[in-house]
Chains A and B, each alone.
Chain A
Amino acid sequence: MSSSSDDFREPGVARPAMVEVRKGWWKDEVSRVPTAPASASFDLSGSAFHGPVFNNAVFNDAVTLTQTIGTAPAKQAELTAALEAFRKLLAGLPATGRETANEAAETAGKLVEAVKPIKDEAFFRRQAAALRAVAGDIAASLPSVTAAAEAVIRAVGQIRGWM
């Protein structure tokens, strides 16, 4: 049997989340963060993922966020978890791009609130298709923290535009 990259993307089986540990001075806090889909995050052939940008946690998480939303099996909880993970990351950002990133986080927070009452599967499918495109948009526009954060804002704005 072939073991191509598509084989292990078994649909319908939830991928287990990663563990996040906040190592504090007095105690540690353990939480979970979703695993990003492999499709674009680690496509090393793409120039978008080379150099300092590949090491930029914000950029990676922006891609993770959009792709998690885009490929998750339309589950509200996963969407919320993805956004929450992104917000947590933003809290630990260096000063560079923090202002724009905070704006992204704030918008993302509003999105979570807006999405909560929605149970429409078709809505999430439309969202998935558009966000997949936005993930590519992020990869294309890339060059900095600010660019990544702005791309997230655009992605979030796109969803809000449908509501």
Chain B
Amino acid sequence: MSVDPVRDHLEKTFGDAYRKEIEQEENVWRSLPFFAAALALQLAAIAQLREWVAAATGYGMLAALVLLGSAGIATLAALFFVLQSIAPARFRYVTPEPELIGYAAAVRKKASAKPGTTPEAADALALAAVRGLLVEQYALAAVHNRTINQLRATRRTRAGIATLVSILLLVGLLALSVVTTSSAHQRVLHGGGERHVLFLG
């Protein structure tokens, strides 16, 4: 049997692409711990700032509420995108092995039934049939699954950006609390009295 270099190349390339996309299927799930850790960090920060936010007044309170509200919206958006990225999807896979064996056997049987076909030729035809079918199925499944995986990755990226925005807002809130608290302490230390404390009750 002569070698078909084109089909050999396609079989290897598409087979690799198919296997890569299968590995990518679980990729989004593997990033979920990052989002869980980020959420835990945010909740811990909010717990630490709870008393300061409750005690803040005036512009301090307004800034705190804006930052906190924006962080909450960003976190909700992140959770939404995470949910989107793991939404149910229809993946495609090559024919199960037993059916491929049956297909090869059927092709060989049909080829053998033709007058003048040698057993070697029938075997070669069966092999070519299975390989040709697999090349097509690898290609179809890789393209199909890649589309889903890319969509999932895009949604995960959105979730990541929303999480980062949320963290940055909370960092801003934390910075505000530190600045105002130290400012208030400074004023108390320099005899300014409590009436100069802007953000603490």
Contacts and interface: CB of A to CB of B under 8 A. Distances in A.
B99 interface: yes
B171 to A, nearest CB: 33
Contacts of A14: 106
B60 interface: no
B121 A55 contact: no
Given A3-B2, A13-B110, A18-B94, A64 B140 contact: yes
Interface residues of B, number: 48
A14 B144 CA distance: 23
B62 to A, nearest CB: 38
Contact of A12 (B94, B110, B151): B110
Given A1-B1, A55-B147, A57-B147, A18 B140 contact: yes
A17 interface: yes
Main secondary structure of the interface of A (DSSP, over half): loop
Given A3-B4, A10-B111, A18 B137 contact: yes
Determine the interface band of chain A, counting residues with CB < 8 A from chain B: 35 or more
Contacts of A89: 90
Nearest to B6: A5
Given A8-B131, A23-B91, A54 B143 contact: yes
Nearest to B98: A16
A25 interface: yes
A76 interface: no
Top 6 A-B pairs, shortest CB-CB distance: A8-B132, A8-B129, A24-B88, A16-B95, A8-B128, A16-B99
Given A13-B107, A18-B137, A19-B96, 13 more contacts: A8-B125, A10-B107, A16-B99, A18-B95, A19-B92, A19-B93, A20-B90, A20-B93, A21-B92, A42-B136, A42-B139, A55-B146, A89-B90
Interface of A: 1-5, 7-10, 12-25, 33, 35-38, 41-42, 54-57, 60, 64, 88-89, 92, 94
